[in-house]
């Protein structure tokens, strides 16, 4: 049966860059030809979540949220707006980071929807964070003598947003590649403001676990860390703060490798077949 991949992202009424990652990852997956159609849908842009499914032809849809954590959006907004009949967060049987997929019917179009967990909590996201650290330092071996801070928003509407950050920080720490790994937050302890207090290493890579660059990643965080007085005029990479070299990467969601996490989510839910998928992705690199 023909399959469509539908990516659900936040988008913005004000910031044209907000939807860029969704488009970029969709383009890459589209180029593999693994899906009959790949469609980007948004909460704040168009097609809206409400109308996304009716724009694709296939009756079988893999729906992947381009969101960082489980919570308000994945449990309430998306199921409601995509009209996923009978969705119950308990079907995911998740501890806050382990939602994988569940199959439902979308009431308005009658399509079968394999509703996947958000990209942010997929284990492959740890690799994207590391890739981000490599690209910002220009060092594919980065790790030894270096600290890594994974930064998140913290308690937004839902405690799970901090869990996702912690989850990847723990996983990356266990690999032993970086001297130190810390989860830091914008509005709870440990705070990103005091980044240098939390590390002993001379070099610290800071990767914000956000889908898109915007106010938080381009103004709040660089300002809070003291990278610059005036975020609008940019900052040096690295910037020395209190004797520590800070390598600040933009939002992790803009990393091209994230397209593979989107695809992984759909594969985990039974889309395409993984061998041909791996090969097809190679072809787009």
Partner 1 sequence: MNEDQFDALQSAAEAGIDTETLTVRTDGETYDFVVPEASYTGLSDDELHAAARRHREYVTEWYFWTEVAPEPAQRRAFIRWVEQADDQSVPERRERLQEGIRREWGQLEIQVKLAEAGRRVYQLHHIDDSDERVEDLTVHTDPHEAREIRKSDEDGRYRPLSTAPTLRRGWAFVDLTPAALVETIETFYPATIANWHREQEGELDVTHWHDAVTRQTGIYGVVETWDRGEGTDHVEWVAEACCADSQCLKRREWEYDEETPLDADGGDGTFPCREPCSLVVSAARKWTRIDAEESRTYEFELTPSEKEQLEELIDAVADGRTEEIREADFSDGANRWRARFLRAKLFEDGNLDGVPTGDGGAAEGDH
Interactions with partner 1, residue window 82-111 (CB under 8 A): 108
Minimum Å gap between C-beta 50 and partner 1 is 6
Among 4, 34, 52, 131, binds partner 1 (CB under 8 A): 52
Cβ 217 vs Cβ 251: under 8 Å: yes
Residue 145 tokens, joined: 């003598």
Among 72, 91, 139, 284, binds partner 1 (CB under 8 A): 72
Q: Distance between CA 270 and CA 6 in Å, rounded? A: 14
From the list 6, 8, 27, 181, which residue makes contact with partner 1 (rule: CB under 8 A)? 27
Pairing outcome for strands 112-116 and 101-105: antiparallel
Identity of the residue, 50 or 177, whose beta carbon is nearer to partner 1 in the bound complex:
50
Does residue 90 sit in helix, strand or coil?
A: helix
Please provide residue 101's backbone torsions phi and psi, each rounded to the nearest 5 degrees. -165, 160
For partner 1, the closer of residues 44 and 245 by Cβ is 44
**Applying CB under 8 A, which of residues 43, 100, 220, 223 lies at the interface with partner 1?**
43
71 or 147: CB nearest partner 1: 71
Instruction: Give min distance, CB of 47 to partner 1, in A.
Output: 4
Distance of CA 77 to the CA centre of its chain: 17
Strand (E) or helix (H) holding 237: none
* 110 cis-preceded (ω within 30 degrees of 0): no
- Cβ at position 12, least distance to partner 1 in Å: 8
Q: Which long-range contacts (CB under 8 A, 24 or more apart) does 274-280 make?
A: 276/34, 277/32, 277/34, 280/32, 280/33, 280/34
Which one, 5 or 125, has the nearer CB to partner 1? 5
Residue 37 or 179 having the CB closest to partner 1: 37
Q: Could you tell me how many residues of this chain bind partner 1 (CB under 8 A)? A: 25
Residues 147-166 that bind partner 1 (CB under 8 A): 157
1 scored as a contact of partner 1 (CB under 8 A)? no
Element (H, E) at 147: strand 146-152
Residues binding partner 1 (CB under 8 A): 12-16, 23, 27, 43-48, 50-52, 54-55, 57, 72, 76-77, 80, 108, 157
């Amino acid at each position: 049966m023909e399959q469509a991949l539908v990516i659900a992202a936040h988008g913005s009424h004000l910031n044209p860059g907000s939807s860029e990652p969704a488009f970029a990852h969709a383009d890459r997956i589209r180029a593999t030809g693994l899906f009959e159609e790949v469609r980007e849908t948004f909460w704040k842009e168009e097609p809206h979540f409400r109308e996304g499914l009716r724009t694709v032809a296939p009756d079988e849809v893999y729906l992947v949220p381009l969101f960082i954590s489980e919570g308000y959006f994945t449990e309430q907004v998306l199921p409601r707006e995509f009209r996923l009949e009978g969705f119950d967060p308990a079907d995911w049987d998740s501890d806050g980071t382990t939602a994988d997929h569940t199959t439902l019917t979308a009431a308005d179009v009658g399509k079968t929807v394999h509703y996947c967990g958000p990209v942010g909590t997929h284990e492959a996201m740890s690799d994207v964070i590391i890739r981000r650290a490599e690209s910002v330092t220009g060092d594919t071996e980065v790790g030894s003598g270096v600290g890594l801070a994974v930064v998140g928003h913290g308690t937004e509407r839902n405690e799970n947003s901090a869990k996702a950050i912690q989850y990847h920080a723990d996983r990356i720490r266990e690999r032993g590649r970086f001297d130190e790994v810390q989860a830091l937050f914008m509005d709870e302890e440990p705070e990103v403001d005091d980044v240098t207090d939390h590390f002993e290493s001379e070099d610290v890579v800071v990767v914000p676990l956000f889908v898109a660059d915007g106010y938080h990643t381009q103004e709040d965080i660089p300002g809070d860390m003291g990278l610059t007085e005036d975020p609008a005029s940019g900052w040096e990479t690295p910037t020395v703060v209190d004797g520590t070299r800070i390598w600040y990467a933009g939002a992790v969601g803009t990393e091209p490798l994230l397209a593979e996490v989107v695809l992984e989510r759909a594969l985990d839910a039974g889309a395409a077949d993984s061998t041909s998928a791996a090969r097809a992705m190679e072809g787009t690199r």
